[in-house]
Structure 1
Amino acid sequence: MKLRVTHQTVYRYDHPIRNIVQSLRLTPSVFEGQKTLEWNIEVTGGIRGPGFRDGAGDWIEGWTVRGPMEEVAVSITGRVETRDTAGVLRGHREMINPLAYLRDSDATKADKGLRALAASVSDHADNLDLAHKLSAAVSEAIAYEPGVTESQTTAAEALKLGKGVCQDHTHALMAVARLRDLPARYVSGYLHATVDGEPHEAAHAWAEIHVENIGWIGFDAANRCCPDERYVRLGSGLDASDAAPIRGIAAGQGDERLDVAVRVEDIDKLQSQSQSQTQS
């Protein structure tokens, strides 16, 4: 599948900001499941700094914006060719030992509810089966409902509420997987459409669980599936904050407002629709 991604994040300030330093994890991962055909990053008034590939295999680059600025936009346009690898992350080069992802963070710290959910999966053939069943258990325990949680909501809080978004499903799945001694990490990226075919116009997140003799496998508990050709992978971390596509510091006083617009489109479908309209 060939996907076209457009992603714009706009920061607005009620007082001009003197200086902004950003770290961007916004470049598609390099592995067998996807190939970047074209990718462009632009930052309003930004000066691109050095880039590097970290131990997790993610490409990170620095940007500096010199003010005064009242509005800064980070814009992404690109094309990626993807294929279904049944969720397995093949050909991805990284140096971090998977056991490092058994560590908890504040977002994934387990409470009684998460411990009970992790223990509820008792009948499994092997660790791969266990990972699938843990993902299914999280899907059942947390209903997908936008607007009921916030960026700082923890896995324990989302489970107690019984509702949340992809970030909450991912944090909860990571928590229960780690409780069962399966390394797990947070993955940020994009999704072309949900399983029912409806357009998905937002950045997306899912978990990767490490299974011995196979490697890292993606699990999207929010959509009850493993990542396939509809997904574009950007990067990973211990939780949403650690894997954030944009991290930065702004020098100045005042409130910040954030607007995000993401669109992921099937290029072949767009071309087919365009040809049909031309012929008609």
Structure 2
Amino acid sequence: MKQLHFEYDMTLAFDSLVEKHRFTLKCFPHTDERQEISQLHVEVFPNEFLCNAQDSFGNSCIYGYAEGQHDHFSVHVTGHAKTGLASYETAEDIPNISMYKYQTPYTKPGDCLKAYRQQFAWKEETTALDKALVFMKQLYQDFHYEQGVTNISTTAEEALVLGKGVCQDYSHIMLSLCRMERIPSRYVVGMLMGEGLSHAWVEICSGGRWIALDPTNNLVVDTQHIKISSGRDYQDCIINQGVFTGFASQTQEIQVSVKEIILKP
């Protein structure tokens, strides 16, 4: 187990004033079988209304509204996470688990993904977890991490054709491969020890358990990861969504920091 301190900062800057800003935030973790969240503090500015809720995938979220004119919008989240409490999350508690077997617009395979899948051959006794571990290892060898070549709209098929991308692309490709094998699998957004941006990985269902795998780093998720949300793909886990009145362009800055809390003896 590890005791971690996390901070999440997001700032939107508008080049002209906006108003009547409605938003949905999914940027804070919640307690589950693998992690315990404490001392959670959330600041949202500006806001006239905030409502804590849970979406259809069980993710914690905030629905909010800022009526007045503003040229920036900020979210600051801090808290502690005790990680490594379990190596899995029980799958029987998740309703409609079969929906995670089906492809989405982000994961739908084209010719490249279908051809890539052909290199894998399984024995009858090969488990879903064993297949997923093979996918992860091979993808880590064949796909290369590079920022700036893909964007949030890039599909798994498009990313594999490019042969490079970021954690979102690794995760969508792995989801596509798993779902071609009818393995229930879901997209996860969270935080990783260190400083930078949010991170994405995959959970697959095997033997009644959700097991988390990080294809970007070729590892089984451990005490260094803090889960924020999960869904069928990136679209279900967007950290900040909103609409407003005004003619403005916007820029977004995100900074994530996760550090281990060293307890004095």
TM-score normalised to the size of structure 2? 0.92
How far, CA to CA, are the matches of 1:127 and 1:64 in structure 2?
43
RMSD: 1.9
Instruction: Give CA deviations for 1:179-216 in whole Å, capped at 9, x if unaligned.
Output: 11112111011011xxxxxx3422111011112x2321
Instruction: Give CA deviations for 1:56-75 in whole Å, capped at 9, x if unaligned.
Output: 22122211112210011111
Instruction: Give CA deviations for 1:132-184 in whole Å, capped at 9, x if unaligned.
Output: 11222222221112222111111111111111111000000001111111121
- Equivalent residue, structure 2, for 1:176: 177
Q: CA deviation at 1:94?
A: 5.0
- Equivalent residue, structure 1, for 2:107: 108
Q: 2:233 aligned with 1:239, yes or no?
A: yes
Instruction: Give CA deviations for 1:221-244 in whole Å, capped at 9, x if unaligned.
Output: 000011111110111112112111
SS in 2 for 1:173: helix
Q: 2:144 aligned with 1:149, yes or no?
A: no
How far, CA to CA, are the matches of 2:74 and 2:23 in structure 1?
12
- Equivalent residue, structure 2, for 1:50: 51
One-letter amino acid of the structure 2 residue matched with residue 262 of structure 1? V
One-letter amino acid of the structure 1 residue matched with residue 252 of structure 2? L
One-letter amino acid of the structure 2 residue matched with residue 63 of structure 1? G
SS in 1 for 2:103: coil
How far, CA to CA, are the matches of 2:197 and 2:259 in structure 1?
12
SS in 2 for 1:46: coil
Please list every run of 5 or more consecutive structure 2 residues that lacks an aligned counterpart in the other structure. none
Deviates more, 1:29-38 or 1:169-178: 29-38
Q: 2:199 aligned with 1:204, yes or no?
A: yes
One-letter amino acid of the structure 2 residue matched with residue 208 of structure 1? E
The answer to whether the Cα contact below 8 Å between 1:108 and 1:172 also exists between their aligned partners in 2 is: yes
How far, CA to CA, are the matches of 2:117 and 2:86 in structure 1?
27
How far, CA to CA, are the matches of 2:160 and 2:42 in structure 1?
36
- Equivalent residue, structure 2, for 1:65: 66
SS in 2 for 1:222: coil
**After the TM superposition, which segments of 4 or more aligned residues of structure 1 sit over 4 Å from their partners?**
92-95
- Equivalent residue, structure 2, for 1:223: 217
How far, CA to CA, are the matches of 1:265 and 1:3 in structure 2?
6
The answer to whether the Cα contact below 8 Å between 2:51 and 2:63 also exists between their aligned partners in 1 is: yes
Please list every run of 5 or more consecutive structure 1 residues that lacks an aligned counterpart in the other structure. 193-198, 276-280
- Size of the alignment, in residue pairs? 262
SS in 2 for 1:107: coil
- Equivalent residue, structure 2, for 1:89: 89
Q: 1:214 to 1:187 in 2, by over 3 A?
A: same
How far, CA to CA, are the matches of 1:139 and 1:85 in structure 2?
25
Deviates more, 1:53-62 or 1:109-118: 53-62
- What percentage of residue pairs aligned between the two structures are identical? 27
How far, CA to CA, are the matches of 1:188 and 1:173 in structure 2?
15
- Equivalent residue, structure 2, for 1:121: 120
- Equivalent residue, structure 2, for 1:278: none
The answer to whether the Cα contact below 8 Å between 1:56 and 1:94 also exists between their aligned partners in 2 is: no
- Equivalent residue, structure 1, for 2:25: 24
Q: CA deviation at 1:49?
A: 2.7
